[in-house]
Chains A and B, each alone.
Chain A
Amino acid sequence: MAQIEFLEVAKRYANGHVALQNLNLQIRDKEFLVLLGPSGCGKSTTLNMIAGLEEVTEGSLRFDSTAVNGLPAHKRDVAMVFQSYALYPHKSVYENIAFGLRMRKHPKNEIDTRVRSAARDLEIEHLLDRLPGQLSGGQRQRVALGRAMVRQPAVFLMDEPLSNLDATLRISMRASIKALHQSMQTTFVYVTHDQAEALTLADRIVVMRQGVVQQIGTPDDIYERPANTFVANFLGNPPINFIDGVVQDDGSEPCFRSGELSLAFDEQLRAELAGCAGKKVTIGIRAEDIDEDATYADCQLTGEITSLLPVGSDQFIGLQNGGRVMFFRVGKERSYRVGDRLSVSVNPRRMHIFDQASGVNLRANAS
């Protein structure tokens, strides 16, 4: 059980590279926190700092209010699962799982009980005598999980643990990890660049970019109220559509205008954007936030269908409007053809509006 706190933490390498800047983050006890971002954003560095594998250059890192900056990895009560599994190739599955307990000098019979119980839970009991080289990717992943589980650590760290698995296995392992968190009742910190993993697993997500936290929030917060264009763009499949333009206010009906395109604001948007007349903005429309029946008459997008991408349950269409192609997710029931002209409307409530210069979300309820 542990609460982890980063206070003004920075990480600079000897070559001058800054991996992390001014990180302030509180990870609650028993929380499942996901660090999400593209490669090089500092998420793995943050995880390694918690593990004690990277030194903190500046600021303070605390476990339950005690600073642990100088505490080496082997003295912290953390367990970690790695992307490459990092199983010891010369040790059997049993010895791999038992190793952490042996290093901490647990009694032999207790080690045996814990190893066998974890192996049973992970359905790898029949593999205990094998060497890692004789296992499949999924089995290795389970051994790596078992090795961390038996330790019953205060903090459970995972560094892209599912990246090397195939798509089907990844989804079933996601469910296993979620169940593991519920049964272990301990703090989980999970690093990934996969938005689907983050959205499924997390209690809260921290989105990072180039060593700077972009947004911290629940999966809903992050998806529905992205703090800036980076966060909005990073989550969503297909990605959110951006249109650059200005807030036009001729006195009566403020709206968004970009060339020929005009999207009217509803009352709530008008209130939120009061005083923004003339401001250069970028609006973001998520692929699923359009209405094929063109319900919102003042908020219409018309264009030619340039591509159709069926994805099983529904389909993505590419719609060319004013020189740009936007992608939307539509139902399978209607059949479209490439070259058709289509009018869709956008629910103004679902529009994200960002300042064009800073990328910050201008809607007042954005976190």
Chain B
Amino acid sequence: MSSALLAKRLALLVGSVLMLMYVLGPVAWLLSSSLQREADITSIPPHWIPSPPTFSSFKAIIDAGTGAVSTDGNASFVPSTAEYLLPALRNSLIVASAVVVLNLLVSIPAAYAMAKIRYIGRDMSVYFMLATRVIPDIALIVPFFLFVRKLGLLDNLGALIITYLAITIPFSVFMLLSYFESLPDELDKAARVDGCSRVQALIKIFLPLAQPSLVAVILFTFLTSWNEFLFALMFTQTAASQTVPIIVASFTSDFTTSFSFINAAGVVAIVPPVIIAVVFERYIVSGLSAGAVKG
């Protein structure tokens, strides 16, 4: 191996390690500090390896959720809204799952129709749909709020599901549309001549082929719904509908902040997205690039 090649590889390795440290550093600190006592977290220099590791913050989350410990007597260690964390996890899961399912139900047939059926106004509908994504979310807050209030859905999970569908469907349709368009029209025709109705052609031929794009859409939709903060802050007021980002953010609003508890809550909050990402990891890259080739 020539020295130039060796130097190039070394530079790549160093670059990659630096990049990984930059990306994973905060996550590693989150994990590490969730297992430390409050005093250890704030000590200088910081301890990267907890000694000894403690699960007291995780236990506090469960205890607070089940009402086993009153938060009043232990305010410096457990935030006043701690009891809402587990219900918020449930809310987040319900919202994200519902958005994923409903999003697929709408975006799959929409993308198929736009890709394979020539109807009047087809191009217009694609541009119109994409144009909705050009508007920043914050500009939509007021109209969405009025809409949700009119429907009587304030402080209701339904408000979040409707809003998240509105912001995720256009991009999902666009991703699937690009993929369906890259599949030859003759495949659709062959399926129909072979005895498939339009719906059967979609289910039996196009969906199995679109698997990577579908996984990308599922991940995108789930993560967007799971992490969304702004709309959730506006449309929810009580534990009945508040999601994880809102509750975790509320942990900083007491007079004292418990870092170990917040970090443990952070770990709990990233577990579902991490599980989903790990399960579907091998599809993510191929899905995104598959849709991107013919955009």
Contacts and interface: CB of A to CB of B under 8 A. Distances in A.
A53 B198 CA distance: 11
A100 B189 contact: no
A79 B193 CA distance: 6
Contacts of B20: none
Contacts of B120: 14
A82 B205 CA distance: 16
A166 to B, nearest CB: 21
Contact of B186 (A74, A79, A84, A99): A84
A11 to B, nearest CB: 13
Nearest to B186: A86
Interface string A62-99: 00000000001110101110111011111000000001
B209 A89 contact: yes
B186 A14 contact: no
Interface in B236-292: none
Contact of A80 (B184, B187, B193, B200): B193
A82 B195 contact: no
A74 B195 contact: yes
Contacts of A72: 192, 197
Contacts of A73: 189, 192-193
A48 to B, nearest CB: 8
B200 A103 contact: yes
A83 B186 contact: yes
B184 A74 contact: no
Given A72-B197, A100-B195, A82 B118 contact: no
B205 A88 contact: yes
Given A14-B118, A88-B205, A90-B208, A80 B189 contact: yes
Contacts of B189: 48, 51, 53, 73, 80, 82, 86
Given A14-B118, A14-B120, A88 B193 contact: no
A366 to B, nearest CB: 37
Nearest to B122: A14
Given A14-B118, A74-B197, A86 B184 contact: yes
Nearest to A87: B190
Interface of B: 118-120, 184, 186-187, 189-197, 200, 205, 208-209
Contacts of B193: 51-53, 73-74, 76, 78-80, 100, 157
Contacts of A90: 208-209
A115 B168 CA distance: 44
A74 B187 contact: no
A104 interface: yes
Nearest to B208: A90
A142 interface: no
Contacts of A79: 193-194
A147 interface: yes
Nearest to B198: A72
Contacts of A48: 189
Given A53-B192, A87-B190, 14 more contacts: A51-B189, A53-B193, A73-B192, A74-B193, A79-B194, A80-B190, A80-B193, A82-B190, A89-B209, A99-B194, A103-B195, A103-B196, A103-B200, A147-B190
Contacts of B190: 80, 82, 86-88, 147
Nearest to B190: A86
Contacts of B196: 74, 103
Contacts of B197: 72, 74
B69 to A, nearest CB: 54
Contact of A100 (B187, B194, B200, B209): B194
Contact of A74 (B119, B192, B205): B192
Nearest to B209: A90
Contacts of A147: 190, 194
A229 to B, nearest CB: 34
Contacts of A52: 192-193
A86 B187 contact: yes
B190 to A, nearest CB: 4
A163 B205 CA distance: 25
A186 to B, nearest CB: 15
Contacts of A157: 193
Interface in A120-153: 147, 151
A83 B187 CA distance: 11
Interface string A43-70: 0000010011100000000000000000
Contacts of A83: 186
A52 B208 CA distance: 25
A146 to B, nearest CB: 12
Nearest to B192: A73
Interface in A134-187: 147, 151, 157
A187 B205 CA distance: 28
Nearest to B205: A88
Listed from nearest, the 4 A-B pairs whose CB atoms lie closest are A103-B195, A86-B190, A86-B186, A100-B194
